[in-house]
Structure 1
Amino acid sequence: MKAGAEEAGEAPQDDAPKTAVNRGISRLDFIMRIVAVIGTFGSAVAMGTTSESFPLFTQFIRFRAKYNDLPTFTFFVVANVIVTAYLILSLLLSIFHIVKSDARVTRTVLIIFDMAMLAFLTSGASAATAIVYLAHKGNTRANWFAICQQFNSFCERVSGSLVGSFIAILVLMLLIVLSAVALSRN
């Protein structure tokens, strides 16, 4: 009976549990990609719309803080937007893996691009984290003063933006491991 199923082009009975597990992994991959899209898109929007100003002595002299005053924050926004676009496009391959769970080449391509996007997003988030740390703590040796006492709302939004980005980094790490497990099962 088993040989007849193989000759007719059907999958042997032994592959059914393996295929079901790979489909489950593919569904989890799809859901995790959506979570990462939400994290990166939310981070880009939160950082990109961050702006605060306060009067110094009079209403005519105002100090302002915007995300694009610092190239590091601009790089952070660009990195999050690029990774968001990639994750949205990768949802198509994730759907393909749900339908065809034994695809190896596309999983390998996803692993490679996921690692590249992980490195890109990590570099943007790490650089922005260094600036946020200086904004909160300052550096007395370099005479850089902590600005978060004056720009409290700005610092809170920027810090929240970093949280979303680091959640996406964690999800991308898990996606790479998940894709590697699915690839090793084929």
Structure 2
Amino acid sequence: MESKQIDDETVLIPKSNSKGKAVVADASSPVVATPKATLPQRGKWKKGLAIFDFVLRLCAAAAAFAAASTMGQTEQTLPFFTQFFQFHAEYNDLPTFTYFVVANAAAGGYLVLSLPFSIVCIVRPHAVGPRLLLVVLDTVMTALTISAAGAATAIVYLAHNGNSITNWLAICLQFTDFCQQASGGVVASFIAAVIFMFLVMNSALALKKTSH
């Protein structure tokens, strides 16, 4: 700073830098850092994940109920029968198919019951408790659905191809409708299992964003 005496009064003139701009330093003014606008963007991102979670749950519930309904209606009676035997096949003749129906029905029921929690995550994108509960239960239901679909796949494979070593016949040569319905139920169950995997990954990603 340079001082000049004018009419017995001292006037302070700021010293200019090399570019001709005055540099005024005020020690009393605090330094304010400009925060990055990441919180609104992060909130929108979490809300988008929550909406995607809700849509996935609807799709998974439809697939699980379709799998249980298709397998539960799997039945066929051959047009020819003898005096003592009637050739009839139904899903509950095999415990594996019964377990398949129960597991997929339970998965579909769980998905319907989980919809309110998914709505809570949409309304409150930063809530951790509902997401943590959903990711734990989704993981359990993923294992249940995959186990049911895998066990039913083994039975459907034997029904289509048989096993010459154990003298198991390929019953799909006669019970074609039965095998087609069972195969459709297994495909629907695997679709539900894949959607469950996406649900787990979606919830894990949302929790990761929440922790930051």
Between the aligned partners of 1:59 and 1:157, the Cα distance in structure 2 is 28
User: Are 2:174 and 1:147 aligned?
Assistant: no
Residues 76-108 of structure 1, C-alpha deviation per residue, up to 9 Å, x if partnerless? 000001101100011111111000001111111
Q: How many aligned positions are there?
A: 176
Off by >3 Å, runs of 4+ in structure 1:
55-61
Residue matched to 1:76: 100
TM norm structure 2: 0.80
Residue matched to 1:158: 182
TM norm structure 1: 0.91
Between the aligned partners of 2:47 and 2:116, the Cα distance in structure 1 is 15
Between the aligned partners of 1:14 and 1:153, the Cα distance in structure 2 is 57
Q: Secondary structure at the match of 1:142?
A: coil
Unmatched runs of 5 consecutive residues or more in structure 2: 1-31
Higher relative contact order (CA 8 A, sep 6+): 1
Candidates 37, 54, 62, aligned match of 1:38: 62
User: Are 2:200 and 1:176 aligned?
Assistant: yes
Candidates 67, 71, 75, aligned match of 2:91: 67
Task: Please state which structure has a larger fraction of its residues in helix.
Answer: 1
Alpha-carbon RMSD across the aligned residues, in angstroms, is 1.6
Candidates 78, 87, 95, aligned match of 2:111: 87
User: Are 2:122 and 1:98 aligned?
Assistant: yes
Residues 139-175 of structure 1, C-alpha deviation per residue, up to 9 Å, x if partnerless? 0000001000100000000000011100000000011
Does the 8 A contact of 1:55 with 1:61 survive in 2? Answer: no
Unmatched runs of 5 consecutive residues or more in structure 1: 4-11
Aligned-pair distance for 1:56? Answer: 4.0
Aligned-pair distance for 1:55? Answer: 3.7
Q: Secondary structure at the match of 2:201?
A: helix
Q: Secondary structure at the match of 2:173?
A: coil
Between the aligned partners of 2:84 and 2:166, the Cα distance in structure 1 is 30
Query: Percent of aligned positions with the same letter in both sequences?
Result: 46
Task: Please state which structure has a larger fraction of its residues in strand.
Answer: 2
Residues 28-67 of structure 1, C-alpha deviation per residue, up to 9 Å, x if partnerless? 1000000000000001000001100114455874201100
Residue matched to 1:107: 131
